[in-house]
Amino acid sequence: MRDSAQKIAILGASRGLGRALCLHIQTQGPASELFVASRKEMALREIRRGQDSLLVADFTKADDQARLQSALFEFRPNSIFYVAGGGPFGDFEKKEWKDHQWAFDLNFAFPAKLLHTMLADPSWSEFLRQFVWIGSAIAGEKPDPQAASYAAAKHAARGLVSSLQKEAAKKFDIALYEPGYMATEMLPPHAWPRQQGLAKSAEDEARELWQWSQTRIK
Ligand SMILES: NC(=O)c1ccc[n+]([C@@H]2O[C@H](COP(=O)([O-])OP(=O)(O)OC[C@H]3O[C@@H](n4cnc5c(N)ncnc54)[C@H](OP(=O)(O)O)[C@@H]3O)[C@@H](O)[C@H]2O)c1
């Protein structure tokens, strides 16, 4: 790897926005070495290049969270994009509690814990310049009926990041990027935003996300 290559970790890289971000960086970004992680190994293998690192992990499982944290520390990323997200769809009370717990863990508790570790241990700031958390322009601020636990977690992400941004200067940039509707697997084909042409492609959103993230650390 060239010394000047940026080391970028994309957590939730197998599909949708995370995959599009990997492909954007690989084709139009700077020289880079990527760290890609999520549950689906085959999909990760498809986007990984020779020099990249790959970790198969379920971000809601304690053992996998610990493995991911150590592997990330070893990789020494300059930037981390926490893209993974999801949640149960339907009336709150009709879903089991474990499904809501899953949404809280995936969309809030785990990235919050990661961020806490990275801020509390100064050795992370020897290499880390930026942590970008993907929220939601819709669920981060407004009610999202049928997706209450997902919306609660996205609201919590906004509360945490906006509060940290007002605390004394941190050793690395902490950013919340909140996309609108995107035409990914998360949004079913019959969903009204797709039908009304309101869903952006993951590729367009990834390009904007990358450009926005770079302007913050110039
Ligand atoms: N699509 C939208 O309309 C929309 C709107 C606003 C915000 N967002 C946000 O944008 C981000 C990307 O969404 P997307 O539309 O690209 O979603 P997506 O196509 O469903 O992709 C979700 C990604 O998260 C990973 N993931 C899910 N559960 C995981 C787990 N337990 N452990 C590890 N990885 C996990 C998936 O990988 P594996 O399946 O391989 O684990 C996949 O790479 C999310 O944070 C989402 O909340 C989406």
Integer Cα distance of 108 and 213 in angstroms: 20
81 lines ligand 1 (CB under 6 A): no
Going through the chain in order, the beta strands assigned E by DSSP cover 6-11, 32-38, 53-56, 79-82, 130-134, 173-177
The closest of 26, 30, 128 to 82, measured between CA atoms, is 128
Cα–Cα–Cα angle for 148, 13, 6, rounded to 5 degrees: 125
Q: Whose CA is nearest to atom 16 of ligand 1?
A: 16
60 lines ligand 1 (CB under 6 A): yes
Integer Cα distance of 202 and 199 in angstroms: 9
Sheet with 32-38: strands ordered across: 53-56, 32-38, 6-11, 79-82, 130-134, 173-177
Q: What is the pLDDT of residue 3?
A: 57
Q: Whose CA is nearest to atom 5 of ligand 1?
A: 181
pLDDT tens digits in sequence order for the chain, 218 residues long: 445 899 999 999 999 999 999 999 999 999 999 999 999 999 999 999 999 999 999 999 999 999 999 999 999 999 999 999 999 999 999 999 999 999 999 999 999 999 999 999 999 999 999 999 999 999 999 999 999 999 999 999 999 999 999 999 999 999 999 999 999 999 999 999 999 999 999 999 999 999 999 999 97
151 lines ligand 1 (CB under 6 A): no
Which of 22, 39, 141, 149 to mutate for ligand 1's pocket (most ligand atoms within 8 Å of CB)?
A: 39
Question: From the centroid of its chain, how far is CA 131?
Answer: 9
Residue 120's contacts (CB-CB under 8 Å, 6 or more residues apart) are: none
Q: What is the pLDDT of residue 4?
A: 82
